A = this chain, B = another copy of it.
């Protein structure tokens, strides 16, 4: 467990063993069962989760009562509702385990004190925020340029880690396609 996060931390910034230990000791390991919620609508998201194992999804319920998935996250990703976590505002979204998962939980207050004790962490999370931003910009561009069928093909080819582990209706939701239409697209493809 510690090896996993140590390797992750050192990918972006050089931390020595004492720093890793100090930071790691503030992280709380937790497990959630499939379908369990890490966050529900209207709650303020007080934690950022580092996924050690498993898949989670972030979604909201639209005006027609349908779930709309805005993000999937997998092993070695940080996941939270950014807006709620950063601005401490009520979440409009749910964060839910798609499989049984193990995470390291980092609270907002702990993070703030760690930033002061370990300025390097500020750099790490600056880089993480930049990477998240780039990933989100890429996703936006993808949706801007591609039709439904192309999005599905792209997802299957480039995000197969998810494609194999989440049900099709969740893929449809993430790709902004109705499950019925995705089913039709798949049929016409072979």
Seen from chain A, the residues whose Cβ lies within 8 Å of a Cβ on chain B are 60, 62-63, 68, 70, 82-83, 86-87, 115, 119, 122-123, 125-126, 129-130, 132-134, 136-141, 143-145, 176
Contacts and interface: CB of A to CB of B under 8 A. Distances in A.
Contacts of A86: 130, 134
A78 to B, nearest CB: 12
B141 A70 contact: yes
A142 to B, nearest CB: 11
Interface of A is mostly: helix
B122 A126 contact: yes
A129 B176 CA distance: 26
Contacts of A144: 68, 70, 176
Copies of this protein chain in the complex:
2
B115 A123 contact: yes
B138 A83 contact: yes
A45 to B, nearest CB: 12
A87 B134 contact: yes
Contacts of A82: 130, 133-134, 137
A21 B141 CA distance: 38
A130 B111 CA distance: 15
A176 B141 CA distance: 11
Contact of A129 (B70, B129, B138): B129
Given A119-B122, A122-B122, A139-B140, 9 more contacts: A68-B145, A70-B141, A82-B130, A82-B134, A115-B123, A129-B133, A136-B136, A140-B143, A144-B176
